[in-house]
Structure 1
Amino acid sequence: MKADERWSGVYSFEDSPFIMEVLTELRDKNTDSIAFRKGLVKLGRYMGYELTKTMDIEEVDVKTPLEKTKGVIVRDRRNVVIITVLRAAIPLMEGLIKVFEHARVGIVSASRGKAPKFEIEMNYIKIPDLRPEDTVIVADPMIATGSTLIKVLGEIEKYGKPKRKIVLGVLAAPEGISRIKEQFPEVEIFVAKVDRELNEKGYILPGLGDAGDRAFGAPLKVS
């Protein structure tokens, strides 16, 4: 895990060969939907493991079949709320919940409009009440303009004041990170890699394309 010196509280996993290998497969335009979804699940799981390194632990006594010894409990792991931004984050959430099996899960359906306005439409919001001991993890694979996450983070504030608010993604553009940190400086951001830039259509470069379309085959059509 590497701290990005351009912002406070922003981290990437560029120092993890395994995570970088999975990301390489996701970037490949020849990776099919099944392999793409599995790759997102892998990243959710292994990035979740890395997140536990930043959580509070408690030393406890434990009795083995032979004697008494010391062990640890990751207390924060039992107080996690995962907010899943539909639809691309579903596989990412599946991986996260393998690590945070006690997590409560919230769902937000949000879609970003076309350039240059990138207006955000939110069709469904279901977020559990948040407690002071909670760590909220907002899962969204692509942090591009940051517009969707700013909207989601604004909604989260209506449900309580948790201990930590984390955005977890696969790729981020510097522009999106800067916008999020300007409005929510307390939010921590963890991504596999911070990419170079956005193009005029709001896509991350070099990126990996539209994560939702690549994971589920075709654009979601709402009737």
Structure 2
Amino acid sequence: MVINLSAAYSLMSTWVSELRHTEIQTDRMRFRKNLERIGEVMAYEISKTLAWEEKEIPTPLGISVCKVMKEQPVLATILRAGLPFHQGVLNFFDKADNAFVSAYRKHHRDGSFEISIEYVSCPDLENRVLIISDPMLATGASLVKTLQFLKAVGQPKEIHIVSAIACTVGIEYVRREDPEVKIWCGAIDDELTAKGYIVPGLGDAGDLSFGSKTQS
């Protein structure tokens, strides 16, 4: 299942447009805040699909029967670009366990690259709901490799992927790896460059959030 949250007119469309805008992008704090806002909205939308139960809650004047979540999800993100996005999801699932994966593109002199994972910190995932945040789902290679590593830790019963901007090529690749995964997108673009960057996209989310880096 793929959900495009910009398909309807909403604040999501405004935040995505600001992420893309070359002049607004120069304000790193605003860029990070917009990623955080999108993460919050996606967390809220995902919460509607999770398991809930009724509990009696004591109040100063009596007992209230309230709907509460049965269990907290595990929130995972791909470093470093995913951190502001992850924070938005964490703001709403504030009791969740967290996982961090250092998946990145290791570039070669000929212009090609491979996905390298050098660090994974993760709780038990067996039979749990897993939400992975990655602001840019481009080729899907880093997400697929991340999924493979995380599934080796434990098999989640449900997987949600949240991306601010995704490319159709990457979406299709991830769904071939796991047809049951649910992908939540702020926007979907159709084109990739030869180097695997989304067009029109927004550029490098990690650099725009935290500054430029030297290539590995």
Corresponding position of 1:4: none
The alignment partner of 1:162 has SS state of coil
TM-score, reference length from structure 1: 0.88
The one-letter amino acid of 1:11's match is I
Question: Is the alpha carbon distance of 1:150 and 1:71 closer, same or farther for their aligned partners in structure 2, counting shifts above 3 Å?
Answer: same
Q: Is 1:95 paired with 2:88?
A: yes
Query: Contact conserved, 2:169 with 2:190, CA < 8 A, in 1?
Result: no
Name the CA distance, whole Å, in 2 between partners of 1:186 and 1:59: 28
Name the CA distance, whole Å, in 1 between partners of 2:62 and 2:99: 42
The one-letter amino acid of 1:89's match is G
Which shows bigger deviation, 56-65 or 154-163? 56-65
User: Which ranges of structure 2 fall in alignment gaps of 5 or more residues?
Assistant: none
Give 1:68 deviation, angstroms. Answer: 4.5
The alignment partner of 2:55 has SS state of strand
Correspondent of 1:137 among 131, 135, 156: 131
Q: How does 1:150-169 map to 2 (within 5 A)?
A: 150-169=144-163
Q: Is 1:45 paired with 2:40?
A: yes
Name the CA distance, whole Å, in 2 between partners of 1:204 and 1:142: 8
Corresponding position of 1:29: 22
The one-letter amino acid of 1:97's match is L
Corresponding position of 1:3: none
Corresponding position of 1:127: 122
Runs of 4+ that moved beyond 3 A: 61-70, 113-118
User: Which ranges of structure 1 fall in alignment gaps of 5 or more residues?
Assistant: 1-8
Q: Is 1:217 paired with 2:177?
A: no
The one-letter amino acid of 1:84's match is T
Q: Is 1:108 paired with 2:104?
A: no
Task: Percent identity, please.
Answer: 36
Name the CA distance, whole Å, in 2 between partners of 1:138 and 1:98: 15
Give 1:196 deviation, angstroms. Answer: 2.2
CA deviation profile, 1:159-180 (whole Å, cap 9, x unmatched): 1122211111111100001111
Give 1:220 deviation, angstroms. Answer: 5.4
Q: Is 1:207 paired with 2:187?
A: no
Query: Contact conserved, 1:110 with 1:121, CA < 8 A, in 2?
Result: yes
Give 1:53 deviation, angstroms. Answer: 1.0
Give 1:131 deviation, angstroms. Answer: 3.1
Give 1:70 deviation, angstroms. Answer: 3.3
Name the CA distance, whole Å, in 1 between partners of 2:183 and 2:113: 21
Corresponding position of 1:85: 78
The one-letter amino acid of 2:150's match is I
Corresponding position of 1:20: 13
The one-letter amino acid of 1:204's match is I
Query: Contact conserved, 1:81 with 1:106, CA < 8 A, in 2?
Result: yes
Name the CA distance, whole Å, in 2 between partners of 1:149 and 1:104: 19
Name the CA distance, whole Å, in 2 between partners of 1:160 and 1:207: 33
